Structure 1
Amino acid sequence: MKILVTGGLGFIGSHTVVELQNEGFDVVVIDNLSNSSVDVIDGIERITGKKPLFENIDLRDKNLVTAFFEKYHDIEGVIHFAASKAVGESVENPLLYYENNINSLVYLLQQLQKKDKASFIFSSSCTVYGQAEQMPITENAPIQSAMSPYGNTKQIGEEIISDVAKVSNINAVLLRYFNPIGAHPSTEIGELPLGVPQNLVPFITQTAIGLRAKLSVFGNDYPTPDGTAIRDYIHVVDLAKAHVVALKRLLNKQNLEKVETFNLGTGKGSSVLEVINAFEKVSERKLNYQIVERREGDITEAYANTVKANEVLGWQSQFSLEDALASAWKWEQKIRK
Structure 2
Amino acid sequence: MNILLTGGLGFIGSHTAVVLAQQGHQVVILDNLCNSQMEVLANLESITGKKLRFYEADIREGLALRKILSDNQIEAVMHFAGLKSVAESAQDPLKYYDNNVCGTINLIEAMQAEKINKFIFSSSATVYGVPQYLPYDEDHPLEPINTYGKTKLQVEEILQDLVKSDPSWSVVALRYFNPVGAHESGLIGESPKGVPNNLMPYICQVASGKLPHLNIFGDDYETKDGTGERDYIHVMDLAEGHVAALNFVNQHPGFHAINLGTGVSYSVYDLIGAFEQAANSMIVRKVQPRRSGDLAIYYAKADKAKNLLGWQAKRDLQVMCKSGWNFHKQKS
Q: TM-score range, shorter-chain basis?
A: over 0.9
Q: Take 2:31 and 2:11, find their aligned partners in 1: how far apart are those partners?
A: 12
Give the AA of the match of 2:324: A
Who is 1:262 aligned against?
258
Q: Which residue of 1 aligns with 2:153?
A: 155
Query: What is the SS of the residue equivalent to 1:78?
Result: strand
The aligned counterpart of 1:71 is 71
Contact 1:10 1:35 (8 Å CA) reproduced: yes
3-state SS of paired residue (1:13): helix
Identity of aligned residues (%): 44
CA deviation vs aligned residue, 1:228-274 (integer Å, no higher than 9, x gap): 111100000000001011011112x1x2x501111101110011111
Q: What is the deviation of 1:89?
A: 1.3
* Separation of aligned partners in 2, 1:222 and 1:80: 35
Contact 2:2–2:75 at 8 Å: present in 1 too? Answer: yes
Aligned to 1:312: 308
Deviation at 1:292, TM superposition (A): 1.3
The answer as to 2:291 corresponding to 1:295 is: yes
1:16 aligns with 2:12: no
Paired AA for residue 173 in structure 1 = V
The TM-score, its normalising length taken from structure 2, stands at: 0.97
Partner of 2:163: 165
Instruction: Report the 3-state secondary structure (helix = DSSP H, G, I; strand = E; otherwise coil) of the residue aligned with 2:35.
Output: coil
Structure-1-length-normalised TM-score: 0.95
What is the deviation of 1:226? 1.7
Change (3 A) 1:125 1:113: same
**2:35 corresponds to which residue?**
35
Deviates most, 193-202 or 126-135:
126-135
Greater mean alpha carbon deviation, residues 277-286 or residues 264-273: 277-286
Matched, 1:204 2:203: yes
- Report how many aligned residue pairs link the two structures: 331
310, 316, 321: which is aligned to 2:317?
321
Instruction: Return the offset for 1:59.
Output: 1.4
Secondary structure (helix, strand or coil) at the match of 2:113 reads coil
Q: Is the 8 A contact 1:131 1:301 kept in 2?
A: no
Structure 1: runs of 5+ lacking an equivalent: none
Q: Distance in 2 between matches of 1:311 and 1:69?
A: 32
* Superposition deviation, residue 12 in structure 1: 0.3
User: What is the CA-CA distance between 1:294 and the residue it aligns to?
Assistant: 2.1
Counterpart of 1:57 in structure 2 is: 57
**Cross-structure match for 1:124:** 123
Measured in 1, the distance between the counterparts of 2:36 and 2:197 equals 14
Q: How much has 1:115 moved relative to structure 2? A: 4.3
Instruction: Choose which of 276, 279, 285 in structure 1 pairs with 2:281.
Output: 285
- CA drift of 1:26 comes to 0.4
CA distance in structure 2 between the partners assigned to 1:271 and 1:178 by the alignment: 14
Task: Tell me which amino acid in the other structure corresponds to 2:241.
Answer: A
Structure 1 residue 7 and structure 2 residue 3: aligned? Answer: no
**Does the CA-based 8 Å contact 1:6-1:79 persist in structure 2?**
yes
CA distance in 2 between partners of 1:285 and 1:49 (Å) = 34
The residue number in structure 2 matching 1:84 is: 83
Name 1:94's counterpart in structure 2. Answer: 93
Structure 2: runs of 5 or more not aligned:
none
**What is the one-letter code of the residue matched to 2:36?**
S
Equivalent position amino acid for 1:185 in 2: E
Classify 1:250/1:160 alpha carbon distance in 2 versus 1 (closer, same or farther; 3 Å). Answer: same
- Once structures 1 and 2 are overlaid, which stretch shifts more, 133-142 or 289-298? 289-298
Report the Cα offset of residue 116 of structure 1. 4.1
Match of 2:44 in 1: 44
Please report the RMSD computed on the Cα atoms of aligned residues, expressed in angstroms: 1.3
